[in-house]
Amino acid sequence: MSNAENNFTTIKFSPDCEIEEISRVALAAILRIHKIDPAVVSELAVLLQKELTNISTKTPFVEVEFQPSENSISAEVRANGDSRTITATW
């Protein structure tokens, strides 16, 4: 779901999905939509994978909210009331 007014995108994953694979595809789509060079956020992709693996055990769903700005993008990973935010800047 995308909100043009607030300029963020939230993706909710079910536990039956391959969360790590879907997150890579989602991140690639976000980068294309917002015209962000994937090379500068490769660290974000690696950190996102780690956070998803850590937070997604025994959870009914995982949400990832991407929030791009002029010189950064952040991803807030949420599950079971836990939340972690990672950011890449350039």
User: Does the structure show a pLDDT above 90 at 85?
Assistant: yes
Instruction: Tell me the three state secondary structure of residue 35.
Output: coil
- Whole-prediction pTM value? 0.75
For the chain, domains (ranges, CATH) are 2-89 (3.30.565.10)
Token representation of residue 76:
């807030």
Token representation of residue 65:
């909210």
- Residues 29-74 have pLDDT tens digits of 777 777 777 776 777 888 888 888 787 667 788 888 988 888 888 8
Closest by CA position to 28, among listed 47, 50, 44: 44
Tell me how far apart the alpha carbons of residues 90 and 25 are, in angstroms, rounded to a whole number.
21
What is the pLDDT, as a whole number, of residue 1?
45
Work out whether strand 2-3 and strand 82-89 pair parallel, antiparallel, or are unpaired. Answer: unpaired
